Amino acid sequence: MKKGVLIIFLFIIIFFLVSPVFAGETHAKAKGGDQEELLGEKLPLWSAIPFAGILLSIAVFPLLAPKFWHHHFGKVAAFWAFLLFIPFYIYYPHEAVHETLHIILLDYIPFIILLWALFTVAGGILIKGSLKGKPSVNTFLLIIGTFLSSWIGTTGSAMLLIRPIIRANKHRKNKVHVIAFFIFLVANIGGALTPLGDPPLFLGFLHGVPFFWTFHIFPEMGFVSVILLLMFFILDTYYYKKESDEVKTMGDDEEKEPIKIVGLVNILFLIGIIGGVLLSGVWHPGKWNILGIPVEIENIVRNFILIIMGLLSLWFTKKEIRDGNEFSWEPILEVAYLFAGIFITIIPAIAILKAGERGALASLMMSVKDPAHYFWATGILSSFLDNAPTYLTFFNSALGNFVFPHFNPATEAQAAHLLLTHNPAVLKAISAGAVFMGANTYIGNAPNFMVKSIAEENNIEMPSFFGYIIKYSLPFLITSFILVTLVFF
């Protein structure tokens, strides 16, 4: 099945290469952002149906046909990708080729390489020792993970701590809520303080936002983190009291193993990943043209560094360490297949959003004016779209609303500086919305899916797509975000 899906996506690339359109004037007519904007003006809202289809497939199939989904989720993703691409190519051949190559080369490939590198390196660090999943221990692990996420990325932090927290709670019957709050805090909200934490903030860094400016989001991040940690401690205490005495005392007669971290050589590789990401934000040697798409050389170098760091981790990490982590490639493969379909089918939705008041979602874009509007509009769309392009869309919308009508900046960095000087609350709202509300669904941020997959590998019955929203997002996250809005925006 896996080989078949890879062949399908390779076929798409080969199709581009042999297409007469590709050989002709396709990319001569493509004008980057201008072309994307014109495309968004032309596309009807129903062109996003394949995107809605893949989201519904992710939501419904695991619930109604779990065996089919487990064996064929890659084919389902490929089906929706083709359903979008074929009519897209028929009606807009130049744009279809350009936009699909653009999102694969500039978004999907770097996205997967970064996730793969962090997944691989973090999987080589093993936290050993006797951890018992009491409310105090679970809360402490969530605090540690939340802190680490801004420095080693939400993916790195999630992959480092998800298995220890699963092992700590292996005897408990009530533990799904532990994984849900882990997704909230470690896989999302904890990444709000630096551009290393979450891709949207890294995009902001590349577009002129100073690296340490995101520390201005600390009050919002700290506020919502404390609320969720208190909610978790109360909820976990309630569920822990419901556990039988046998479960509570299980393992007490075993010899206690001191807490120890092995595989520390991978810290060097994490530093290498961080260095590669930082390098791509401060070094700009130019661009290379790949298949008609201009790709920044620094991003190619960054991807190469990340791949090297992952390979070095595989080479230098002992097998027993990865075995101790129950390391497997299934979670990253599931993310790779599903997000390939998501990234391709998302093209019309992002193009329409970028068209702003000239697109099919004009009424939505025209209603976004205040920081609270930006927080919720960015957040809700980030829950179902990729939060990185959503962040960039509203970042550009804010520049259009608050900078360009009043100032004439010479560069994008100057425009970002003017926004931060005169309307910092708007960018704080966009940043917080993109990072925080990625926790609202399994697809809001890639680590969410990986955590869910690892939990299910360990026989934890996670709720369905809609079950997660109804049982956890609505009562806990949305309540917290309403409070954040009232206090800060």
Q: What is the mean pLDDT of residues 56-81?
A: 83
Mean pLDDT score, 123-129: 80
Query: Cβ distance 433 to 374 under 8 Å?
Result: yes
Number of CB atoms found within 10 A of residue 264's CB: 10
Number of neighbours of residue 153 by Cβ within 10 angstroms: 29
CA distances 100 to 80, 84, 342, Å, are 14, 10, 12
| pLDDT value for 11 | 47
pLDDT of 270 above 80: yes
Q: How confident is the model at residue 235 (pLDDT cuts 50, 70, 90)?
A: very high
Tens digit of pLDDT for each residue in 435-480? 999 999 887 887 888 888 889 888 888 888 888 999 999 999 999 9
Assigned domain for 15 exists: no
Q: Which of 114-118, 351-355, 477-481, 483-487 has the lowest mean pLDDT?
A: 351-355
Cα-trace Rg, the chain: 22
Angstrom distance (rounded) from CA 252 to CA 239: 19
What confidence tens digit (pLDDT) does each residue in 404-413 have? Answer: 667 677 666 7
Residue 336 belongs to what domain range? 45-245+256-488
**pLDDT for 219:** 94
Residue 31 included in any domain: no
pLDDT at 109: 85
Q: What is the pLDDT of residue 23?
A: 33
Question: Domain for residue 10, yes or no?
Answer: no
pLDDT category at 246 given cuts 50, 70, 90 is low
* CA 176/CA 456 separation, integer angstroms: 10
**How large is the average pLDDT for residues 83-99?**
86
Count the domains in the chain: 1
Q: Are 159 and 196 in contact (CB under 8 A)?
A: no
Report pLDDT for 231.
Answer: 95
pLDDT score, position 269? 92
Q: Provide the pLDDT for residue 292.
A: 75
Mean pLDDT of 88-100: 85
Please report which confidence band the pLDDT of residue 124 belongs to, taking 50, 70 and 90 as the band edges.
Answer: confident
| pLDDT given at position 263 | 84
Which one is predicted more confidently, 414 or 221?
Answer: 221
Q: Examine residue 304 and state whether it is found in any structural domain, yes or no.
A: yes
pLDDT in tens, 367-401: 778 899 899 989 988 888 667 767 877 787 777 67
Q: Which of 3-7, 40-44, 315-319, 367-371 shows the lowest per-residue confidence on average (mean pLDDT)?
A: 3-7
Residue 32 included in any domain:
no
In a domain, 232, yes or no: yes
For the chain, what is the mean pLDDT?
A: 81
- Would you state the structure tokens that stand for residue 38, as one six-digit string? 């014109």
Question: What pLDDT was estimated at residue 428?
Answer: 93
Q: Do 488 and 220 contact (CB within 8 A), yes or no?
A: yes
C-alpha to C-alpha distance for 227 and 242, rounded to whole angstroms: 23
Alpha-carbon distances of 161 from 127, 183, 265, rounded to whole Å: 8, 11, 17
Predicted pLDDT of residue 432: 94
pLDDT in tens, 150-170: 888 888 888 888 888 988 888
* Cβ-proximal residues to 39 (8 Å cutoff; 6+ apart), any chain: 92, 95, 99, 351, 355
> Average pLDDT, stretch 299-318?
91
Q: What HEC string does 145-193 produce?
A: HHHHHHHHHHHHHHHHHHHHHHHHCCCCCCCHHHHHHHHHHCCCHHHHC
Dihedral-angle region of residue 459 (phi above 0 means left; psi in -120 to 50 means alpha; beta otherwise): left
135 in Cβ contact with 168 (< 8 Å):
no
Which residue's entry shows tokens 């401690």?
233
Predicted confidence band at 248 (pLDDT cuts at 50, 70, 90)? low
92 to 19, 42, 96, 300: CA distances (angstroms): 14, 10, 6, 29
Contacts of 203 (CB under 8 A, 6+ apart): 388, 391, 392, 395
- Residue 28, pLDDT above cutoff 60: no
Between 16 and 340, the higher pLDDT residue = 340
What residues contact residue 44 under an 8 Å CB cut-off, 6+ apart?
360
350 within domain boundaries: yes
Measured CA angle at 289 (ends 305, 114), to 5 deg: 25
The answer on pLDDT for 414 being more than 90 is no
Q: Is residue 454 part of a domain?
A: yes
The better pLDDT of the pair 440, 355 is held by 440
Can you list the alpha helix ranges (DSSP code H) found in 92-134? 93-103, 109-122
Per-residue pLDDT, averaged over 293-307, amounts to 87
Beta partners for residue 296, in sequence order: 287
